[in-house]
């Protein structure tokens, strides 16, 4: 099933992050435990800009990876459908940044679930700005299901 959500509230029903550490504005395409595409508008009011290259703010690369990780967790969480599921980013492989991200930029990230195990999932992630790839990585996410939760695909 493909869904489209456009509010923080809808996203916060699936993943635990909250502003100011929520780096998803919209889910534009979602196939639970398969692929998800999310958007994030880089807000000039983000408190991380205060000390990261003052006067010429650049979004820290680690926050681009966090944006990818939140998209991956949404992909899993939309299948698990339990707000009490815990997600942890446990490994980042082959991460590369190809351009800087500044206030006002709009990011589009697509994650693809490559493999899923009992409590781990491996995602291929790609972030674009104006249609050009600006970051890519392979992320490993650990997840712990509450005892009563079951996944839709199982």
pLDDT tens digits for range 119-132: 999 999 999 999 99
Give the domain CATH number at 59: 3.10.129.10
80 within a domain of the structure (yes/no): yes
149 within a domain of the structure (yes/no): no
**Which residue range(s) make up the domain with 47?**
8-144
- pLDDT for res 139: 98
Q: Which residue among 16, 22, 35, 52 is the active-site one?
A: 52
- pLDDT for res 151: 53
- pLDDT for res 148: 52
- pLDDT for res 4: 58
* Neighbour tally for 34: CB within 10 Å: 16
Residue 78 to residue 104: CA distance in whole angstroms: 28
For the stretch 130-154, what's the b/e string if a residue is b when 16 or more beta carbons lie within 10 angstroms of its beta carbon?
Answer: eeeebbbbebbbebeeeeeeebeee
2 within a domain of the structure (yes/no): no
**Residue 116 — pLDDT band, cuts 50, 70, 90?**
very high
- pLDDT for res 152: 52
Q: Quick one: how far is CA 12 from the chain centroid?
A: 12
Percent of the chain with pLDDT over 90: 73
- pLDDT for res 25: 95
Q: Does 8 qualify as catalytic in the annotation?
A: no
Please check whether residue 4 is in contact with residue 10, taking contact to mean a CB–CB distance below 8 angstroms. Answer: no
Name which of 10-14, 32-36, 98-102 the model is least confident about. Answer: 10-14
pLDDT tens digits for range 136-148: 999 999 999 876 5
C-alpha dihedral (91, 1, 131, 47), degrees to nearest 10: -60
pLDDT tens digits for range 25-83: 999 999 999 999 999 999 998 888 888 888 899 999 999 999 999 999 999 999 988 88
Task: Look up the pTM and report it.
Answer: 0.91
What's the mean pLDDT in 77-100? 94
User: How many domains are there within the chain?
Assistant: 1
154 within a domain of the structure (yes/no): no
153 within a domain of the structure (yes/no): no
1 within a domain of the structure (yes/no): no
120 within a domain of the structure (yes/no): yes
């Amino acid at each position: 099933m493909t869904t489209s959500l456009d509010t923080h509230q809808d996203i916060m029903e699936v993943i635990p992050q909250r502003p100011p550490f929520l780096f998803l504005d919209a889910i534009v395409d979602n196939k639970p435990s398969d692929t998800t595409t999310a958007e994030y508008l880089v807000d000039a009011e983000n408190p991380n800009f205060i000390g990261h290259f003052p006067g010429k703010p650049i979004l820290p690369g680690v926050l681009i990876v966090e944006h990818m990780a939140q998209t991956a967790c949404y992909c899993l969480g939309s299948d698990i459908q339990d707000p009490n599921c815990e997600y942890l980013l446990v490994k980042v492989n082959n991460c590369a940044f190809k351009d800087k991200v500044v206030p006002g930029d709009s990011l589009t990230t697509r994650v693809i679930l490559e493999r899923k195990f009992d409590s781990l999932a491996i995602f291929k992630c790609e972030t674009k700005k104006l249609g050009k790839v600006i970051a890519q990585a392979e992320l490993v996410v650990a997840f712990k299901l509450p005892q009563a939760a079951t996944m839709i695909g199982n």
